[in-house]
Structure 1
Amino acid sequence: MWNFINHWKLDSLSAAFFVAFPTLPLAAYPYLTVSTTFTRIKAVIQDAEVKAQNKQNHQIEDWLKKLQEAVYDAEDLLEDFSTQVLRKQLMSGNGVSREVRVFFSRSNQFVYGLQMGHRVEALRERLNDIEADSKRFNFEVHESERYSLTAVKDQTTSSEPEVIVGREGDKAVIKSFLLDSNYKDNVSVISIIGMGGLGKTTLAQHVFNDKQVESHFAVKHWFCVLGGLDARKILKGLVGRDDDQLESLKNELEKKFENKKYLLVLDDVWDGEDGSDGAKWDSLKELFPRDAVGSKIVVTTRSHVIAKFTSTVAPHVLEGLSIDKSWELFRRKAFPQGQDSDHVDEKIRKEIVERCCGVPLVIKAIARLISLKDRAQWLSFIDGEWDGRAWESICRDFRRLRVLVLSDWRIEEMPPLIEKLKHLKYLDLSNNKMEALPNSVTNLVNLLVLKLNGCRYLKELPRGLNKLINLRHLDVGCALNGDLCDSLEYMPRGIGKLTSLQTLSCFVVAKNRSPKSKMVGGLDELSRLNELRGSLEIRVKGYEKDSCISEFEGAKLKDKQYLQCLTITWRDIDMDSDIDLYDKMLQSLQPNSSLQELRVRGYGGMRLPSWLSSLSNLVRIRLDAYTRLEHIPPLDGIPSLEELLICSMKSLEYIDSEGVRGKEMSKFFPSLKKLVIRYCPSLKGWWKKSRGEMKDDSDESTVEELIMLSFPRLSSLTIEDCPNLTSLPLFPTLEEYLYLYKSSSMPLQQTMKMKPPIYSPSSSFMRPLSNLTLLYILSIDDMESLPEVGLQNLTSLQQLEIRDCSRLKSLPLHGQGMSSLQQLKIHGCPRLKSLSESKSQGMIPYLPSLQQLRIDGCSEELSRGWGKESSEVWPNIKHIPNIVID
């Protein structure tokens, strides 16, 4: 327990007070004696903890609780001071109003300082009383470093743990290890690993107190570590003596164990911060007695690192309880002995235990929390109903709360009394139903994180959001993650003062500025938020024609060097708006060159900004839902670009209007791996002049003619709903998949027909599409056949699906070339009559790896003659386990 005091320094209270109020007289510093009193108490705290556990002394336990309360109050006081320091620094650094300056004048510092001084004085008196009260217990004072934690429990003092549920199998595994004498090592170790609350300690206690285990070992010891592998502290705790000499402690431990077979439990071992756990464990285990064959050590830990280093056998991983066992445990805790639980139906049982995720600690806590009297109360828990009493209980009973997570509770209204949780640092209200937050939220000045993502009914944020001077992360969701606060109308004025903000997931530019113009923050609020990192979405719902350009330029996105992803969305805006204004707005939002991902959606301009091709670190670009854009500026020179998505552009005719001439193959999309082109009905080709240059009327285009038009590293390609797209840079390097839907087959035909250049040996030429694994050809109207030579090259293809290709007549599959094919599906190709390259092979060649064959909706010739009676076909397909021919 005393860790709460061991890691807390009251000296920092004094330092913070001096920084905050340097002009106060010394008489106002009653806290100067607090540190001394605190040090004297700390000297006896370890002995108090030991005596409280060994002697079951409730008076000492009460004394420790009083001390804990006082230390927590001291921590609260320190946070108040720190907040005041930061508030003062921020206010003095900004151009603030006269009223604020007066508040921080010397006279007001004096008043505030004296108020805090009274609080420190009260704290000092409490500590003095606690120190005086300690003398009646005759605690032993330890002047040197104290051994860390609790006293050792042996078989005479270990208390019997409560009945466990659902851990019978786990107990059997641990018992089997302990009772097995066939291990080579004199001392064998097993670790029990699992997240907090799963019951590692409870399981270990049950094994420790088992009668068979008790009779098997001559000596049993239990040590609660609650920390890292500090050999000196652990040995001090085991021996029960304060001695810094490891050799002396080792000798004392050997005397205690008397060369007898022993069982030692090291409970709740943490991993260290310095990465030296392995070396620490090696040192520690050398100090344990090793003479008695069959001795065992059990380690409980949350850390996989600790489990790896300590175990001599496979660690035992503790899992969550099953649904049935979770309910059994819940029933035991929720209903007193003899009380009937039949009124709780199966649906409610399942809902409640599923929410507990199989974690015993959570199950027991929830069972105690709700007084289960009737079905309505159970349903209110399931439905996440929150009323004033629930809030009042939280704010009253958890006033020192630092973290509050209330996501997915269907909360419709937040009460103003949330401000009572003044020490709150992390508040998660995501996926709830409230339309607004109370302004009192802005009094939570210690708040670091505010999560509101997925609150789809939220219309506005609190007006005084700028008062949250410690706020680092404000998450209102974003389209990228699909958890946007869709109803959010604007951002509050003053949000730009939160200069330490690191996360702002979305900034909404208001649709209408009046009558809320005084409350509405413009995009220039982003001006000084240069610590922003991660993702930012700018959602433009409206703009002021006369001032929007200066406002957008005022955002100074170019200064946001830590920003990785930028999404710019125009939404609910009249598409007949000034086209030039669109162009200027987007041009004014130039990001920093370090940006890695750019998404622009709903843009109504006719040209993209000049800065787009200069973002040399871009990895992903998505351009979506443009109404007027006819071409895109060259993007092939961006060296790091890996993904390009072009979607829903009804006016786009060419992707690059500059043409192919002058392009260098070495600089043509050198890193592009994924290309998606969707719903571009007017798109004709990649380059405006590419048809003549590509000679697409030729059946024998060579690499010399086409190599400059190839994607050098493209791995996946999707072309969907682009019926007029007939020319494209070739894509011979595809590996993952090719997906063609309602598009022309010409780019595929041209890629399949690529041949090596005359000057290049064929051995160095990679056959086109030879690494492709998945091929989908759907609703392609201009495809009558695929070239036989191209199909022979598909040596890595595992899945081929062809659907609704009404003109397809020939599909000459090649048995040897397509040796990796596992799935073949053909549907809705009424003119297709054969799948083989020659009549001698029958209807289909032998495809050795094929596991699934499905053919339906094709010609009558293709649908018949597949049975065992067919001497030509059956030998080629009898090895296929899954065949459907209709």
Structure 2
Amino acid sequence: MAILPLVAMLRDKASSYLLGQYNVMEGMEKQHRILKRRLPIILDVITDAEEQAASHREGAKAWLQELKTVAYEANEVFDEFKYEALRREAKKNGQYKKHGLDVIKLFPTHNHVVFRHRMGSKLCKILEDINVLIAEMHDFGLRQTFLVSNQLRQTPESKEWRHTDYVIIDPQEIASRSRHEDKKNIVGKLLGEASNADLTVVPIVGMGGLGKTTLAQLIYNEPEIQKHFPLQLWVCVSDTFDVNSVAKSIVEASPKKDHDTDKPPLDRLQKLVSEQRYLLVLDDVWNREVHKWERLKACLQHGGMGSAVLTTTRDKQVAEITGADRTYNLNVLKDNFIKKIILTRAFSLQNEKHPELHEMVGEIVNRCHGNPLAATALGSLLHTETSVKEWKDVSSRSSICIEETGILPILMLS
């Protein structure tokens, strides 16, 4: 995936209100503040680094690759902080009793002292890596360009794998292979509208955790798409659909300099897309108010011929509002891909392999009902469970996954 959205996602996670509200970074406040100051510095130079890498500057290429690795690791660390915050929130709100202790055990962290020591070490390591990247950034003469906001979110994948008899596949490769046909179909829809004077809107619809954002990322980074659309924009909308705020976020997501900051956001947006063939991704849309969508669409329609908007949503009614005639309903993943996700998350080099555990993976796969988020969460849980008894305990729970939604009950709390 593109590195800039990955780092922007890390910045957003590091600034989450949950971290402070539930005091999960106690004893790590200084490192946390430093990291939040460092990330915008990194964001400011990524565009220049990518331009240098495109010009065959090997130093810039290596720097971007290292940044990508560190960003993945850091995203995983802040996912752990968020999970701990959600566990504390569940306890505070009495959800332990509501869902049962076996469900809450899905969050294995209970000892605050142990958590603080373990996570403090991880956070310090991330901060050291970020500081090295910033020092190298100056060595390579990378220039600050612009600060992007409201970029996409992603569920990071673990980089620590147990050694197994299976071939371990990179999480991004799993996503690419499992959604290859879906990507091909949607790319075909977008490219097939090249001569269409009207704005093309393609909503991707599916239950939570199916990987709608991941699929949108694959499409966004597809070489054919990048070649076809001179201007590409990505904005995460979420539950609040304020037209002016969304318009402002779209403008700020553009690499082009915008000096008309005193003008209304919708005017700035219309000027940005005017006569340009663009692709805009609106990720995680919940708005059901038709008039709001029509106001935004009125500006977006000033783009060049073949322009398109790709949206992701869980709500079929939202899809009907934005573009029902081109809605793409996302199906669950096949079991072989669910199995690969679980293996990737559950096994690492740090633990000895256990043949009986491998035999039990099939049972865990059936509990996920084709949902990659459920597979990711269960795989992460099983990473901390090393005995056959513990795995059987997880596999036998009736509350692991709800068949209708494919979502872990504990994740529904979020």
Report the CA distance between 1:258 and its aligned residue: 5.6
Please state if 1:259 is matched with 2:284. no
Query: 2:207 & 2:231 partners in 1: Cα distance?
Result: 29
Q: Which residue of 2 aligns with 1:179?
A: 191
Over residues 587-629 of structure 1, what are the superposed CA-to-partner deviations in whole Å (9 max), with x where a residue is unaligned? xxxxxxxxxxxxxxxxxxxxxxxxxxxxxxxxxxxxxxxxxxx
Q: Which residue of 1 aligns with 2:251?
A: 239
Q: Please say if residues 206 and 330 of structure 2, whose CA atoms lie closer than 8 Å, have aligned partners that are also in contact.
A: yes
Please state if 1:188 is matched with 2:200. yes
Over residues 80-126 of structure 1, what are the superposed CA-to-partner deviations in whole Å (9 max), with x where a residue is unaligned? 9xxxxxxxxxxxxxxxxxxxxxxxxxxxxxxxxxxxxxxxxxxxxxx
Q: Please say if residues 277 and 304 of structure 2, whose CA atoms lie closer than 8 Å, have aligned partners that are also in contact.
A: yes
Please state if 1:271 is matched with 2:269. no
Q: How many residues align?
A: 264
Please state if 1:382 is matched with 2:395. yes
Please state if 1:286 is matched with 2:301. no
Q: Which residue of 1 aligns with 2:106?
A: none
Over residues 269-307 of structure 1, what are the superposed CA-to-partner deviations in whole Å (9 max), with x where a residue is unaligned? 1135xxxx1111111100215241111110011111111
Q: Please say if residues 229 and 284 of structure 1, whose CA atoms lie closer than 8 Å, have aligned partners that are also in contact.
A: no
Paired residue for 2:265, among 244, 249, 252? 249
Q: Which residue of 2 aligns with 1:317?
A: 329
Q: Please say if residues 274 and 302 of structure 2, whose CA atoms lie closer than 8 Å, have aligned partners that are also in contact.
A: no
3-state SS of paired residue (2:264): helix
Q: Which residue of 2 aligns with 1:304?
A: 316
Q: CA RMSD in A?
A: 4.7
Letter in 1 for 2:40: K
Q: Please say if residues 197 and 304 of structure 2, whose CA atoms lie closer than 8 Å, have aligned partners that are also in contact.
A: no
Matches within 5 A, 1:742-761: none
Letter in 2 for 1:54: L
Query: 2:392 & 2:271 partners in 1: Cα distance?
Result: 60
Over residues 320-373 of structure 1, what are the superposed CA-to-partner deviations in whole Å (9 max), with x where a residue is unaligned? 212222112222332348999893588623310111121111101111221365
Q: Which residue of 2 aligns with 1:745?
A: none
Q: Please say if residues 194 and 302 of structure 1, whose CA atoms lie closer than 8 Å, have aligned partners that are also in contact.
A: yes
Distance 1:344 1:170, change over 3 A: farther
3-state SS of paired residue (2:355): coil
Please report the TM-score for the alignment, with normalisation by the length of structure 2: 0.52
Between Structure 1 and Structure 2, which shows a larger proportion of strand residues? 1
Report the CA distance between 1:375 and its aligned residue: 4.7
Please state if 1:51 is matched with 2:49. no
Q: Which has the larger radius of gyration?
A: 1
Distance 1:320 1:218, change over 3 A: same
Q: Which residue of 2 aligns with 1:481?
A: none
Q: Which residue of 2 aligns with 1:162?
A: 172
Letter in 1 for 2:188: S
Distance 1:252 1:49, change over 3 A: farther
Distance 1:184 1:242, change over 3 A: closer
Distance 1:340 1:161, change over 3 A: closer
Query: 2:380 & 2:187 partners in 1: Cα distance?
Result: 31
Q: Please say if residues 267 and 300 of structure 1, whose CA atoms lie closer than 8 Å, have aligned partners that are also in contact.
A: yes
3-state SS of paired residue (2:238): strand
Report the CA distance between 1:189 and its aligned residue: 0.5
Q: Which residue of 1 aligns with 2:149?
A: 151
Distance 1:234 1:266, change over 3 A: same
Letter in 2 for 1:307: A
Distance 1:185 1:340, change over 3 A: farther
Distance 1:306 1:341, change over 3 A: farther
Between Structure 1 and Structure 2, which shows a larger proportion of helix residues? 2
Query: 1:365 & 1:310 partners in 2: Cα distance?
Result: 32
Matches within 5 A, 1:94-493: 151=149, 162-163=172-173, 164=175, 165-181=177-193, 184-240=196-252, 248-257=264-273, 259-271=275-287, 277-311=289-323, 313-336=325-348, 343=355, 348-371=360-383, 375-384=388-397, 407=399
Matches within 5 A, 1:312-711: 313-336=325-348, 343=355, 348-371=360-383, 375-384=388-397, 407=399
Q: Please say if residues 53 and 151 of structure 1, whose CA atoms lie closer than 8 Å, have aligned partners that are also in contact.
A: no
Q: Please say if residues 253 and 289 of structure 1, whose CA atoms lie closer than 8 Å, have aligned partners that are also in contact.
A: no
Letter in 2 for 1:162: Q
Give the number of the structure with larger relative contact order, counting CA–CA contacts within 8 Å between residues 6 or more apart: 2
Q: Which residue of 2 aligns with 1:466?
A: none
Query: 1:278 & 1:191 partners in 2: Cα distance?
Result: 15
Letter in 1 for 2:293: W
Over residues 727-748 of structure 1, what are the superposed CA-to-partner deviations in whole Å (9 max), with x where a residue is unaligned? xxxxxxxxxxxxxxxxxxxxxx
Letter in 2 for 1:169: E
Distance 1:362 1:283, change over 3 A: same
Report the CA distance between 1:223 and its aligned residue: 0.7
Q: Which residue of 2 aligns with 1:570?
A: none
Please report the TM-score for the alignment, with normalisation by the length of structure 1: 0.26
Query: 1:198 & 1:189 partners in 2: Cα distance?
Result: 20
Q: Please say if residues 153 and 222 of structure 1, whose CA atoms lie closer than 8 Å, have aligned partners that are also in contact.
A: yes
Distance 1:251 1:196, change over 3 A: same
Gap regions ≥5 residues in structure 1: 10-46, 81-149, 155-159, 385-405, 410-427, 430-886
Query: 2:283 & 2:275 partners in 1: Cα distance?
Result: 23
Query: 2:325 & 2:220 partners in 1: Cα distance?
Result: 19
